[in-house]
Amino acid sequence: MSYLREMILKHGQVFPNNVLKVNSFLNHQIDPIVIEEIEKEFYKYFGDRSITKVLTIESSGIAPALLVAHHLGVPMLFAKKAEPSTLAKEDKYVTSVHSYTKNVTSNVLISKEYLSANDKVLIIDDFLANGQAALGLVDLVEQAGGETVGVGICIEKSFQPGRQYLEAKGVDVFSICRIQSLENGKVTFLNE
């Protein structure tokens, strides 16, 4: 069993609306061993695809994305949720993302300076639920004229349609853990 799966079973807490709280090892306090394992799995799956950049969204994707980027020897870029006052409108790519956990829609952005048509991009995030965050990141890559090589997810809630939406766009999705159900407060994994 993967260490991430073990930690989910030991410390994950199921909240209403099918939200899994993993604050003790991934979303608030971060267990470096979990991140190291995630990084190795992503590298094993995506490592040979000539990736030039790893893209995530602040803040929970940053830790795994940074380690993968380090292993690949490329920069890690994260989409920002707040508008930096130093960035003019014409200098950024912007997309709108609906947050599953906060139930708000907001703009996320990256500076045009750091993403170009030459980039082959690996997108990383902590969770995949309805796919809005990942689809927003795919949109930012498209706006830059770059290529999304794939999406790497730490915890996929496979009972929600995120993977379906991404695959319908031809995106290769790889998840470390795939959760089949959070019913009755119990975590059940796919392929258990």
Interhelix angle 62-72/32-46, nearest 10 degrees: 50
Span from 46-54, 110-118, 130-138, 139-147 in contact with ligand 5GP (CB under 6 A)? 130-138
Residues in the chain: 192
**Residue list 49-78, contact with ligand 5GP (CB under 6 A):** 60
Q: Is 132 annotated as a binding residue?
A: yes
Between the alpha carbon of residue 78 and those of residues 37, 56, 134, 137, 176, the distances in Å are 21, 5, 12, 9, 20
Taking phi first (over 0 means left), then psi (-120 to 50 degrees means alpha), and beta for anything else, what does residue 48 get?
alpha
Is 65 annotated for ligand binding? no
Site string for ligand 5GP, 8-47 (x = CB under 6 A): -----------xxxx----x--------------------
The reply, when asked if residue 129 is annotated as ligand binding, is yes
Which of 108, 109, 133, 149 binds ligand 5GP (CB under 6 A)? It is 133
**Residue from 43, 42, 40, 10 nearest 25 by CA:** 10
Give the range of 43-51, 62-70, 124-132, 169-177 binding ligand 5GP by CB under 6 A: 124-132
Distance CA 51, CA 133 (A): 20
Q: Is 91 helix (H, G, I), strand (E, B) or coil?
A: helix
Q: Does position 128 bind ligand 5GP by CB under 6 A?
A: yes
Q: In 114-150, which positions are buried (b, 16+ CB within 10 angstroms) versus exposed (e)?
A: ebeeebbbbbbbbbbbebbbbbbbbbbbeebebbbbb
Considering the complex, state which of residue 89 and residue 186 has its C-beta at the smaller distance from ligand 5GP. Answer: 186
Rounded least distance, CB 7 to ligand 5GP, Å = 13
Q: Does 101 bind ligand 5GP (CB under 6 A)?
A: yes
As annotated, the binding site for xanthine includes 20, 27, 157
Query: Which residues are at the interface with ligand 5GP (CB under 6 A)?
Result: 19-22, 27, 60, 100-101, 125-134, 157, 162
As annotated, the binding site for 5-phospho-alpha-D-ribose 1-diphosphate includes 129-133
